[in-house]
Chains A and B, each alone.
Chain A
Amino acid sequence: MNFDNLKSAVAAAAALRGLTEYELYYMSDSSTSVETLKDEISSFSSGVSGGICFRCLFRGKMGYASTELMEESEMEALVDRAVENAEATEKEDTVGIFAGSPSYERTNAPTFAPMNAADLKALALSIQAENYKASEKVADGTQSYAMSAGVNVRLVNSHGLDLSNAYGLNVVYSEAVVRDGDNSENNFEFEEVKDGFDAAAFAKKAVLGAEEMLGAGTVASGKYDMVISADAMTSLLSAFSSVFSAKNAQLGLSMLAGKEGEKIAADIVNITDDPMREGLPAQTFFDAEGVAARRKSVVEAGVLKTLLHNRETAEKAGVESTGNASKGGYSAPVAISPYAFFIEPGETSEKELLALAGNGIFIKGFSGLHAGADAVTGDFSLQSEGFVLEGGKKTRAVKTFTVAGNFYNLLKDIAAVGNRTEHGVPGGLTVFGAPAVLVRGMSVAGKDND
């Protein structure tokens, strides 16, 4: 595939149909991954794929068509399909194709150097060996993975805008299985591979995370003060992140609609969104419409400063786009997504958080966020695991209980914010992060006293 030839073919087809505003969005990704089972490589896979999306303004409507068949002969049909789809679309397009921002910042991530197959194999095997070394309770079924994945994006349009970006990630995963008699537990950890990566420490974290849950009991239903771990808070933020989308607000699907400038969280809560957050590998300087991407404060001292906008929602709200237009893959229509979306750290250490909670529950993790969290209402009721806290100390592991609440209320009820953030597995350019937080009086459903 020669992109410039495709571009010319598209330009010729567009000119024939009298199209003056159009965009070609190309995305390709390549990945290599290795999986181990017992002491062997059990699976190796590599893939390359790429596709292009053509969108055009036709009689005031935006039409889309996309394909992975990237041959010049396909381009005419691609343009025709987009025109046909524009004809059937009823929504008036209010913003058209973007001419370009006055300036673009530079990303600060180092150039991505993909790991080769041999290094990935060696790395996965060394983590797997360390898993087995970490504890006698480690059982077969334990797996280690190493993966290298890179993405290339190019956006060209009829205004002459031509932007490109590349990013990637070398990452390892460990799924440790531990067994003690009839009891089994597993735990999943991931880490980006950088200089100084310590396979033994990584494996140990994965194994200890499983081991500490062996023999977990349950808790009685009731109200508890809680420390929600950085991991668990990150997953909760991720599940409710769509409430910060201006599109959802404008559709009546977010309770944050019209709340800019108002208090929506406790004073100690600060949330930022940053396409170039220091230390993160997946960065961009332009969004899916070609608008310059930039860092913004979303919540400052509990006050909502802005929702996340693309050009369409910004135009409707009478503000500037925040550069958050996104495409969930080359073929997706323009939507809105955060970049590195973080609750910023506060000043309380984890030990102090536990002491502040006194007697209560430490939430290690939530499960089933795609089902048990409703972003429209803010309500959640989530399967949880963690530890009972007595006198500010973790005394015993507990699982098979739920924590229920409302995300909007929880933001206001955060009583203390931890001083260390963690982040989740990045999905494209989006990654969520949060520190541990203290929240009082959360509802728990567990065992009832018969």
Chain B
Amino acid sequence: MLEKKLTEEILGVALSTGADFAEIYCELTRNGGIRLLDGKIDSISDNTVSGVGIRAFLGTRTVYGSTSDISREGLLRCAASVAAAMGDGKEERSIKLTERIFPNIHPVKIVPSAADMKFKTDLLREGCAAAKDYDEKIVQVIGNLITVDHTIQIANSDGLFTSDRHIRTRMAIAATASDGHENQTGFSGPGRGMGLEVFDLFPPREIGKEAARIAMVNLSAGYCPAGEMTVAIENGFGGVIFHEACGHSLEATSVGTGTSQMCGKLGQKVANEKVTAVDDGTIPGAWGSVNIDDEGHPTQRNVLIENGVLKNYMIDRLGSRRMGMPMTGNSRRQDYGFEPTSRMTNTFIENGPDKNEDIIASIEYGLYARSMGGGSVNPLTGAFNFSVSEGYIVRNGKICEPVRGATLIGTGTQILQDIDMVGQNCATGQGMCGSSSGSVPTDVGQPLIRVSKITVGGR
């Protein structure tokens, strides 16, 4: 990490051609990965990411420079290149930094990089063995234990000088089932902003069993029929529907440039009144939580939609300047190579008024999406898609035979109105969300919900 005096000097250089604000982000990250394949530890990756990103603002214009050369000369060169791109003014700016320490609300018990290698490989072995032993038709299991130990330091020309350390751990198991003619896959990958104690919450054998169970269900499933249907979407990663259909359109990245379907709709009813949606980066140990965002702003709980009414957006510093609204602690980036922008943290629909059994019972003919894959959205039009990784036909209020290969598509504004029942078992699922500032960990979540009508892509 950088010395305070050098940091002040770098900020001064970045500001020297007329910028009104400058910021430094310094990172040291240890990424660990253990991969198990065919019952053996197949490879171990172990990488140190180290570098600095320097950003200057003049109004809503930004200049960003990044470098992995963290020598004094390398840093001053980077700051000078930022200043040169900003303008040709000349001013002396002296910056006085004051150290601030924000509370750590995500304490870690077992730091992965300090743990014994055998302890880690045994955890992964346990998960993969449980998947393989689930059924003799499970022909392949790939397991990954992913650990990230991320230390950042952020300083800016407002005088902020702070640092944070964030650790996260995830086990992802993919199982393939085969009947000799075709293959089907299942995936389970829980993670938390925690150390290896996360596996007290998620015993590895349960992760493996869940991946194998989904693969086996899909092996016995026929193709999902195509057409418009009533769909019940289960909790956990089912929340990807809100993430794609609405979440991205509430990020300042699109709202601030006028390219979101949610522009200008604050205070308006944008969803069914049963929908209250929240982005909360403060949930202790959650996958998408951090103490401070990547601009050094503490994360917070933001109610985005309350009883169907749009209440707030997710706003970073640039978005705040563009939109004239306060920052919300949502600025994030994959690493120092990326200029940060507004991103989701842990985003979910809160529990609603309906009993889960009533939701299924209400469907005469439709689809029950028990687990979901990923998806994508065009924030301008709100057109989204996401895939169903485990689905069942619902007939006369009963969950019947499994179906595979379904995709749900629609537009965000429409589906928010069409979520007409909201259940009571809110839970989250973990994802890696990709956008202009790279790939960042985000939680999605919801209770069981019913969408009255949506296009189901099948055949």
The residues of A with any CB-CB pair to B shorter than 8 Å are 1, 37, 40-51, 62-70, 81-82, 84-85, 88-91, 117, 139-141, 143, 177, 184-186, 221, 251-253, 255, 331-333, 367-368, 370-372, 374, 376-377, 379-383, 399-405, 443-448
Question: Cα distance A447–B277 when bound, in Å?
Answer: 29
Question: Cα distance A63–B42 when bound, in Å?
Answer: 10
Residues of B within 8 A of A221 (CB): 226-227
Residues of A within 8 A of B60 (CB): 42
Assess the B45–A331 pair: CB atoms within 8 A.
yes
Distance (Å) between the CB of B449 and the closest chain A CB?
19
Q: List 21 A-B contacts (CB under 8 A).
A: A43-B64, A44-B63, A44-B86, A81-B46, A84-B117, A88-B41, A88-B118, A89-B41, A89-B43, A117-B85, A141-B258, A184-B261, A185-B380, A186-B380, A253-B176, A367-B383, A370-B374, A370-B376, A381-B407, A382-B407, A448-B227
Residues of A within 8 A of B404 (CB): 379
Assess the A64–B117 pair: CB atoms within 8 A.
no
Assess the A255–B183 pair: CB atoms within 8 A.
yes
Chain A: CB-nearest residue to B140: A252
Residues of A within 8 A of B381 (CB): 184-186
Distance (Å) between the CB of A71 and the closest chain B CB?
9
Given A177-B380, A383-B409, A445-B456, A46–B65 Cβ distance below 8 Å?
Answer: yes
Chain B: CB-nearest residue to A86: B44
Residues of A within 8 A of B142 (CB): 251
Interchain pairs with CB closer than 8 A, number:
234
Residue from the list A81, A184, A331 in contact with B380, Cβ < 8 A: A184
Chain A: CB-nearest residue to B406: A381
Distance (Å) between the CB of A287 and the closest chain B CB?
18
B69 located at the interface, meaning its Cβ lies under 8 Å from any Cβ of chain A in the complex: yes
Assess the B68–A49 pair: CB atoms within 8 A.
yes
B62 located at the interface, meaning its Cβ lies under 8 Å from any Cβ of chain A in the complex: yes
Closest 3 CB pairs of A and B: A402-B457, A445-B226, A443-B459
Residues of A within 8 A of B53 (CB): 47
Assess the B385–A48 pair: CB atoms within 8 A.
no
Residues of A within 8 A of B69 (CB): 1, 48
Question: Cα distance A39–B293 when bound, in Å?
Answer: 31
Distance (Å) between the CB of B42 and the closest chain A CB?
5
Residues of B within 8 A of A49 (CB): 51, 66-68, 337
Distance (Å) between the CB of B41 and the closest chain A CB?
4
Question: Cα distance A50–B74 when bound, in Å?
Answer: 13
B95 located at the interface, meaning its Cβ lies under 8 Å from any Cβ of chain A in the complex: no
Residues of A within 8 A of B121 (CB): 88
Contact pattern, B 107-147, Cβ under 8 Å of A = 1, otherwise 0:
00000000001100100000000000000000110100000
Assess the B459–A404 pair: CB atoms within 8 A.
yes
Contact pattern, B 24-65, Cβ under 8 Å of A = 1, otherwise 0:
000000010010011011111111111101000000111111
Question: Cα distance A143–B337 when bound, in Å?
Answer: 21
Question: Cα distance A82–B65 when bound, in Å?
Answer: 32
B373 located at the interface, meaning its Cβ lies under 8 Å from any Cβ of chain A in the complex: yes
Assess the B81–A69 pair: CB atoms within 8 A.
no
Residues of B within 8 A of A444 (CB): 226
Question: Cα distance A372–B117 when bound, in Å?
Answer: 36
Residue from the list A140, A141, A253, A404 in contact with B458, Cβ < 8 A: A404
Assess the A252–B459 pair: CB atoms within 8 A.
no
Distance (Å) between the CB of A6 and the closest chain B CB?
14
Residue from the list B66, B117, B176, B261 in contact with A48, Cβ < 8 A: B66
The residues of B with any CB-CB pair to A shorter than 8 Å are 31, 34, 37-38, 40-51, 53, 60-69, 81, 85-86, 117-118, 121, 139-140, 142, 176, 178, 182-185, 223-224, 226-228, 257-259, 261, 337, 339, 373-376, 378, 380-381, 383-387, 404-407, 409-411, 455-459
Given A381-B387, A381-B407, A404-B226, A44–B41 Cβ distance below 8 Å?
Answer: no
Assess the A43–B43 pair: CB atoms within 8 A.
no
Assess the B385–A367 pair: CB atoms within 8 A.
yes
Interface of chain A: mostly helix, strand, loop or mixed: strand
Residues of B within 8 A of A186 (CB): 259, 378, 380-381
Q: Which of B85, B224, B386 has the most CB of A within 10 A?
A: B85
Residues of B within 8 A of A377 (CB): 182-185, 405
Residues of A within 8 A of B140 (CB): 251-253
Assess the B257–A141 pair: CB atoms within 8 A.
yes
Chain A: CB-nearest residue to B259: A141
Residues of B within 8 A of A41 (CB): 61
Assess the B406–A371 pair: CB atoms within 8 A.
no
Given A186-B380, A400-B411, A332–B45 Cβ distance below 8 Å?
Answer: yes
Assess the A143–B227 pair: CB atoms within 8 A.
no
Given A185-B380, A186-B259, A402-B409, A91–B40 Cβ distance below 8 Å?
Answer: yes
Residues of B within 8 A of A65 (CB): 46-47
**A186-B380, A404-B407, A445-B459 known, 9 other contacts, Cβ within 8 Å:** A50-B68, A85-B44, A140-B258, A251-B37, A255-B183, A370-B376, A381-B224, A443-B459, A445-B456
Question: Cα distance A400–B376 when bound, in Å?
Answer: 13
Question: Cα distance A401–B411 when bound, in Å?
Answer: 11
Assess the A371–B387 pair: CB atoms within 8 A.
yes
Assess the A48–B407 pair: CB atoms within 8 A.
no
Assess the A85–B63 pair: CB atoms within 8 A.
no
Given A333-B45, A381-B407, A383-B409, A177–B259 Cβ distance below 8 Å?
Answer: yes
Residues of A within 8 A of B40 (CB): 90-91
Question: Cα distance A144–B45 when bound, in Å?
Answer: 38
Chain B: CB-nearest residue to A62: B43
Q: Which of A90, A255, A445 has the most CB of B within 10 A?
A: A445
Residue from the list B43, B139, B411 in contact with A252, Cβ < 8 A: B139
Question: Cα distance A51–B29 when bound, in Å?
Answer: 13
Assess the A382–B176 pair: CB atoms within 8 A.
no
Question: Cα distance A85–B53 when bound, in Å?
Answer: 31
Assess the A379–B407 pair: CB atoms within 8 A.
no
Residue from the list A42, A43, A367 in contact with B376, Cβ < 8 A: A367
Question: Cα distance A382–B118 when bound, in Å?
Answer: 42
Residue from the list B48, B63, B376 in contact with A368, Cβ < 8 A: B376
Distance (Å) between the CB of A242 and the closest chain B CB?
13
Chain A: CB-nearest residue to B43: A333
Q: Which of B31, B46, B261, B374 has the most CB of A within 10 A?
A: B46
Assess the A44–B409 pair: CB atoms within 8 A.
no
Question: Cα distance A82–B46 when bound, in Å?
Answer: 8
Assess the B183–A253 pair: CB atoms within 8 A.
yes
Question: Cα distance A141–B31 when bound, in Å?
Answer: 37
Assess the A68–B459 pair: CB atoms within 8 A.
no
Residues of A within 8 A of B456 (CB): 445
Given A45-B65, A377-B185, A448-B227, A383–B383 Cβ distance below 8 Å?
Answer: yes
Question: Cα distance A50–B117 when bound, in Å?
Answer: 28
Residues of A within 8 A of B178 (CB): 252
Given A47-B66, A252-B176, A368-B385, A68–B226 Cβ distance below 8 Å?
Answer: no
Residues of B within 8 A of A90 (CB): 40-42
Question: Cα distance A88–B41 when bound, in Å?
Answer: 7
Assess the B459–A372 pair: CB atoms within 8 A.
no
Assess the B48–A66 pair: CB atoms within 8 A.
yes
Distance (Å) between the CB of A67 and the closest chain B CB?
4
